[in-house]
Amino acid sequence: MAPKLKNLSVEAKAQYRVPFGTVSITEQARQLIDTALDTKFVTRGKYVAEFEKQFAKLFGTREAVAVSSGTDADALALAVLYDYGAQRGDEVIIPALTFVATGNAVFQAGFKPVFVDVKRETLNIDVDQIEAVITPRTRAIMPVHLMGKPAAMERIMAIARKHKIYVVEDAAEAHGAQLNGQLVGTFGHMAAYSLYAAHIITTIEGGIVTTNDAAMAEALRSLRNHGLVNKFEFQRIGFSAKMNELEAAVGLGNIKIYEDILGRRRRNLLHLIERFKKFDPYFITIKEEQGEKIGPHAYSVILREGLNFSKDQCVEYLDQAGIDSRNLFYSIPTQCLSYAFLGHKLGEFPESEYCANHGFHFGIHQDIELTQLDYVVETVEKFLRLKGHKV
Ligand SMILES: Cc1ncc(COP(=O)(O)O)c(C=O)c1O
């Protein structure tokens, strides 16, 4: 009998048989943390600089600027655009379905989010709908590579070039993803990554912005530190969004074992893609198309239409069996109360709303073994049988 996990404490939930996330803290990271603590060099210093250098090299850009969170990474990257003619209140196009942080970051940077629906098969912005929302005030498109699945970057860049607008990639969930042999995060003018605990490279809390443009990197360094330039001169409306040495130490440890983390996560993703094939009449799941390499963040499952069970019933059954999962986010403009003031109406973003109402995702991280994933598959199978399906 699976343990009953509903309403349990955080500690009890940590005993999930298939937990959502993990953190790899290496021996090297422990040693660097000890040194930082012993010498009391704990605020931004040489470890942060080294982490930025190694991150940029790994992800194929000239510059990387480490910040406090992925949300800050999104917001600071957008705030750089004030150096390039943007005005407060200008518009930034983002997908309606993403983690709410993407929308919040647009507001935090002083812009207005303009939403475009996604496609349920790809979870990514529907490129065919982008041009219809471009106005003279549009400054940027911020595509999100949700679940590490690359957005259609070549087409997005072509639209951006045509309309002379910037592209900031939200690569929070897409470390190591590739499209036609090119790493995501290297298509746009800048890319923002989250380094939060559940992500492929983590600093526990943290974020980082990459770019090939030295002037943009300089603006980012100023923006993370209150808009400071030179010794004590404030040139921009800045943020306080610095990474500290202890976080960078964890990040350096993760970079050292990055190939191993990525390899184990990709093994898990590919195993599930294969094993979930038999569930195709019931679920739309994340798939790797020709020319794509998914950055394996988590595994998404969306119920197909017309089934005799609901997403909640399915999630509840998995939860009872010790399989931790999360909702497949929400349509920010129509399903997040905090955005109600924008006046959007339910039904405006049907695909995003469908994904939110019928979708969930669960972990495929480096500490999950294939036997645990087989247990997920068996549990799903049991659930479907219970609902009268022959699988
Ligand atoms: C798509 C997306 N954007 C932004 C963020 C924000 O990152 P953080 O939680 O590090 O602030 C996340 C977090 O997971 C995310 O999934």
Spatial CB neighbours of 213, under 8 Å, sequence gap ≥ 6:
62, 63, 189, 190
> Is the Cα dihedral 262, 71, 114, 333 positive or negative?
positive
Residue type, 122: T
- Kindly write down the DSSP assignment for every residue of 343-385, as one continuous string: ---TTSSHHHHHHHHHEEEEE--TT--HHHHHHHHHHHHHHHH
Residues of the chain with CATH 3.40.640.10: 27-256
Judge contact between 74 and 101, C-beta under 8 A: yes
Report whether pLDDT(74) > 70.
Answer: yes
> What average pLDDT does the segment 147-160 reach?
98
**102 CA → ligand 1 middle, Å:** 7
Q: Which two tokens stand for residue 81?
A: 């655009």
Q: Is the CB of 363 under 6 A from ligand 1?
A: no
> What average pLDDT does the segment 189-193 reach?
98
Q: Is the CB of 172 under 6 A from ligand 1?
A: yes
Atom of ligand 1 nearest to the CA of 195: 10
Q: Is the CB of 63 under 6 A from ligand 1?
A: no
- Kindly write down the DSSP assignment for every residue of 156-215, as one continuous string: HHHHHHHHT-EEEEE-TT-TT-EETTEETTSSSSEEEEE-BTTSSS--BS-EEEEES-HH
pLDDT at residue 231, rounded to an integer = 87
CA 112 to chain centre: 20
Q: Is the CB of 331 under 6 A from ligand 1?
A: no
**312 CA → ligand 1 middle, Å:** 24
Q: For all residues of the chain together, what is the average pLDDT?
A: 96
Q: Which two tokens stand for residue 48?
A: 């942060």
**DSSP label at residue 118:** B
Nearest alpha-carbon partner for 205 in 164, 229, 241: 241
**122 CA → ligand 1 middle, Å:** 18
The CA-based diameter of the chain, rounded to the nearest angstrom, is 70
Q: Is the CB of 186 under 6 A from ligand 1?
A: no
Report whether pLDDT(8) > 90.
Answer: no
Nearest alpha-carbon partner for 309 in 276, 329, 282, 347: 282
pLDDT in tens, 253-309: 999 999 999 999 999 999 999 999 999 999 999 999 999 999 999 999 999 999 999
pLDDT at residue 375, rounded to an integer = 97
Strand partners, 326: 361
Atom of ligand 1 nearest to the CA of 207: 10
Question: What pLDDT band is residue 11 in, cutting at 50, 70 and 90?
Answer: low
d(CA 188, CA 157): 7
Provide the pairing of β-strand 112-116 with 91-95: parallel
pLDDT at residue 2, rounded to an integer = 41
pLDDT at residue 3, rounded to an integer = 42
Architecture of the domain defined by 27-256: 3-Layer(aba) Sandwich (3.40)
- Whose tokens are 């920010």? That residue is 332
> What average pLDDT does the segment 110-138 reach?
98
pTM: predicted TM-score of the whole model, two decimal places:
0.96
**66 CA → ligand 1 middle, Å:** 14
d(CA 129, CA 284): 22
pLDDT at residue 12, rounded to an integer = 54
**194 CA → ligand 1 middle, Å:** 5
Atom of ligand 1 nearest to the CA of 144: 1
**129 CA → ligand 1 middle, Å:** 24
Question: What pLDDT band is residue 5 in, cutting at 50, 70 and 90?
Answer: very low
Report whether pLDDT(213) > 50.
Answer: yes
Q: Is the CB of 70 under 6 A from ligand 1?
A: yes
> What average pLDDT does the segment 29-45 reach?
95
Report whether pLDDT(4) > 90.
Answer: no
Nearest alpha-carbon partner for 167 in 143, 137, 193, 146: 143
pLDDT at residue 10, rounded to an integer = 56
Question: What pLDDT band is residue 15 in, cutting at 50, 70 and 90?
Answer: confident
* Residue among 23, 92, 99 whose CB has most ligand 1 atoms within 8 A, to mutate: 99
Judge contact between 223 and 236, C-beta under 8 A: yes
**CATH number among 3.30.930.10, 3.90.1150.10, 3.90.550.10, 3.40.50.2300, domain 258-386:** 3.90.1150.10
d(CA 178, CA 185): 9
Q: Is the CB of 124 under 6 A from ligand 1?
A: no
Residues of the chain with CATH 3.90.1150.10: 258-386
**Region at 44 (left for phi over 0; alpha for psi -120 to 50; beta for the rest):** beta
Question: What pLDDT band is residue 164 in, cutting at 50, 70 and 90?
Answer: very high
Nearest residue (CA) to ligand 1, atom 8: 70
pLDDT in tens, 306-339: 999 999 999 999 999 999 999 999 999 999 999 9
* DSSP H or E segment with residue 140: strand 138-141
Nearest alpha-carbon partner for 81 in 71, 90, 73, 69: 90
Q: Is the CB of 125 under 6 A from ligand 1?
A: no
d(CA 22, CA 17): 13
pLDDT in tens, 227-252: 999 989 999 999 999 999 999 999 99
Q: Is the CB of 196 under 6 A from ligand 1?
A: yes
**173 CA → ligand 1 middle, Å:** 7
